[in-house]
Structure 1
Amino acid sequence: MTHIGKKIVVTTPTGHVGSRVVRLLLQAGVRPTLLVRDPARLDAVTRDRVDIVQCDQGDSDAVRHATRGADRLFWVDPPAPADSNPIAHYTRMGANAAHAVEANGIGHVVFLSSVGAEKRTGAGEIDGLARTELLLDETSAEVVHLRCGYFFTNLLMDLAGLRAGQLPTSWPLDYPMAWVDPRDIGEIAAARLLSDWSGRQRQAVHGPQDLTFTQVAAILSRALGHPIRATRISHNDFRATLRAAGLSPDHAEGIAGMSAGLSEGFVPEDKRSIITTTPTALAAWAHVHLAPLVGTS
């Protein structure tokens, strides 16, 4: 059963996942309410078909006011500022979401979480997403946590390195993990927002297959038309690189802590299945989205 007549609120609607959620809701006949910090980032065509509330998700009162009357909420903890502690940042955002859910009696919440949140501690900044899971679970809403794999779009963060044929990472090169297209995550989130469920649930979003960084480099080599070599950097060197880029010590630790905490003996709680597997292959995504930016030879 779908709920086109329900008021659906979407946070981070201009992000890789949120923008896909918005498009699918529009195509389903829904006029969603979008919480956005900078409405100018929305394209004109979308603005004509949605209700916009300018809102800083870090402002608890603003979030409560912006979600008044909502039946369903897609919640994404917004990215942490470079000078912040990301675990504390995500925890505060989660508390704001939980407060709004309780205050406004929001019935269903879809939360964008991550593989590794099941550890609860020891997974770097993902610990903040784990705390958001717990805070939402304490509300009276029906909640589903989407525990997502490693985003394809993370590759967009080092285009210069890819142009130079390098794929540096702090993950072990032979460690297989879920890689996923954020658009596919958006499709699952939209499906959940338009359907019924009850209780506290989790749904992993693992992409089409687990990949090692060595395999990713081979895929990118073919897609980009020049050799890409994956190289392992130590966790300490990675922390130093992040600090040199202007991140605070806490923020650098939060990012480095993900690979440090999840690559040694970690096994995701949610197994790969027909439910967790999404269709878009990394090769196809790279041809469409990465090759034009990197340049092929």
Structure 2
Amino acid sequence: MSTFLVIGAGGNVGSEVSRLLEAAGHTVRRATSRQPGPGQVPVNLVTGEGLRDAVAGADGVFLLSPPGHTNQDQLLGPVVDAAKALGVHKVVLLSAMGADADPNGAMWKAERHLEQSGLTWNVIRPNWFMQNFHTFWLHGIKTAGVIQLPTGTAKGSFIDARDVAAVAAVLLQGDTHANRAFDLTGDEALDHDQVAVLLSQALGRTIRYEDITPETMRPGLLAAGLPADYADFLLTILHFFKLGYSERITTAVQDITGVAPRRFAAYAHDYRAAFA
């Protein structure tokens, strides 16, 4: 069995990656930037504190950028360098669908740094997470029964974070798909009116969608504590959603895991309690 370092182990994807790897009999080091508990190791990607100790002796690393930061290349590059220096076999990097479209983007630079490192690697680029609806977009849904986003009538092939984790776990444990990048999506594309209908059916109350302007959304993002540059980044990628760039569907989840990705109705059913 192998030892894996999971960075972002407290998040929707990282926690499930950790669970799947442990279920397969591996040892998992769960990285945290907070005071570590049992099974956790301290790693601060912003300062680099704890990084080399956490990486040393690991066979593989699951890597993502901490939320709220737009300098992903500066945060992730040192992890790749430490993995290379300390003899890690494989790194799986969680990126985002569309990151490879901008050669000046920080995430694209992080991807390229990994690809050119000499390590065995995979990059996974998921589309928008279904889980955003019971985290980032939850307040409006709970308090007013409304999803407020500047996305017009465009569709997105939303993906369940559990399916992203399943892909990551498979890639970490084998090299069948080594040194490749994959765009990960669900197998249906929905607009936000359709999402609202599915949430309404699962929750037993009416949820509706309201198209708003970026200027309307920005103050709420700042009030929620997002740094200004990250709020602007979020509004930029929401604009790309509105332009139709999130509608594309791939078969990568099933190709890698052998299982079809979850549909939005299943997500809404499974997470009913989070919307209560």
Q: TM-score range by the shorter chain?
A: 0.7 to 0.9
Aligned 8 A contact 1:205 1:278 in 2: no
CA, structure 1 residues 242+160, in 2 after alignment: closer, same or farther (shift >3 Å)?
A: closer
Alpha-carbon distance, 1:198 to partner: 6.5
Amino acid corresponding to residue 14 of structure 1 in structure 2: G
Provide the rounded CA distance (Å) in 2 between the counterparts of 1:269 and 1:68.
Answer: 39
Which residue is equivalent to 1:293?
Answer: 274
CA, structure 1 residues 142+198, in 2 after alignment: closer, same or farther (shift >3 Å)?
A: farther
Aligned 8 A contact 1:64 1:103 in 2: no
Provide the rounded CA distance (Å) in 1 between the counterparts of 2:261 and 2:178.
Answer: 27
Provide the rounded CA distance (Å) in 1 between the counterparts of 2:186 and 2:247.
Answer: 14
Q: Does 1:36 align with 2:24?
A: no
Which residue is equivalent to 2:146?
Answer: 166
What is the aligned counterpart of 1:87 among 54, 63, 70?
Answer: 70
Give the secondary-structure state (helix, strand or coil) at the position aligned to 1:171: coil
Amino acid corresponding to residue 93 of structure 1 in structure 2: L
Provide the rounded CA distance (Å) in 1 between the counterparts of 2:177 and 2:267.
Answer: 34
Provide the rounded CA distance (Å) in 1 between the counterparts of 2:217 and 2:133.
Answer: 16
Which residue is equivalent to 2:84?
Answer: 102
The C-alpha deviation readout for 1:244-279, integer Å capped at 9, x for no partner, is 434332121111111123432537888446427843
Aligned 8 A contact 1:64 1:99 in 2: no
**Sequence identity percentage:** 27
Provide the rounded CA distance (Å) in 2 between the counterparts of 1:128 and 1:215.
Answer: 33
Provide the rounded CA distance (Å) in 2 between the counterparts of 1:245 and 1:55.
Answer: 25
Q: 1:120-139, aligned counterparts within 5 Å? A: 120=102, 127-139=105-117
Alpha-carbon distance, 1:168 to partner: 0.7
Give the secondary-structure state (helix, strand or coil) at the position aligned to 1:221: helix
Instruction: Give me the TM-score of the superposition, normalised by structure 2.
Output: 0.88
Aligned 8 A contact 1:60 1:99 in 2: no
CA, structure 1 residues 77+248, in 2 after alignment: closer, same or farther (shift >3 Å)?
A: closer
Which residue is equivalent to 1:59?
Answer: 47
Alpha-carbon distance, 1:77 to partner: 1.0
Alpha-carbon distance, 1:71 to partner: 2.0
Provide the rounded CA distance (Å) in 2 between the counterparts of 1:247 and 1:29.
Answer: 38
- Structure 1: 5+ residue stretches without partners: 81-85
Aligned 8 A contact 1:180 1:278 in 2: no
Provide the rounded CA distance (Å) in 2 between the counterparts of 1:94 and 1:211.
Answer: 32
CA, structure 1 residues 92+169, in 2 after alignment: closer, same or farther (shift >3 Å)?
A: same
The C-alpha deviation readout for 1:122-179, integer Å capped at 9, x for no partner, is 8xxxx4322221221121111111110111111123334213221111112x212121
The C-alpha deviation readout for 1:90-128, integer Å capped at 9, x for no partner, is 222122222212221322111111111121268xxxx43
- Structure 2: 5+ residue stretches without partners: none
Alpha-carbon distance, 1:27 to partner: 1.1
CA, structure 1 residues 61+158, in 2 after alignment: closer, same or farther (shift >3 Å)?
A: closer
Give the secondary-structure state (helix, strand or coil) at the position aligned to 1:26: helix
Aligned 8 A contact 1:59 1:96 in 2: no
Amino acid corresponding to residue 228 of structure 1 in structure 2: I
Provide the rounded CA distance (Å) in 1 between the counterparts of 2:139 and 2:261.
Answer: 28
Instruction: Give me the TM-score of the superposition, normalised by structure 1.
Output: 0.82
Amino acid corresponding to residue 7 of structure 1 in structure 2: T
What is the aligned counterpart of 2:206 among 227, 232, 235?
Answer: 227
Q: Does 1:252 align with 2:235?
A: no
The C-alpha deviation readout for 1:183-240, integer Å capped at 9, x for no partner, is 1111111111111146531122212322111111111111111221111111222223
Provide the rounded CA distance (Å) in 1 between the counterparts of 2:53 and 2:108.
Answer: 25
Aligned pairs, number: 271
Give the secondary-structure state (helix, strand or coil) at the position aligned to 2:157: strand
Pairwise CA RMSD: 2.4
Give the secondary-structure state (helix, strand or coil) at the position aligned to 2:70: helix
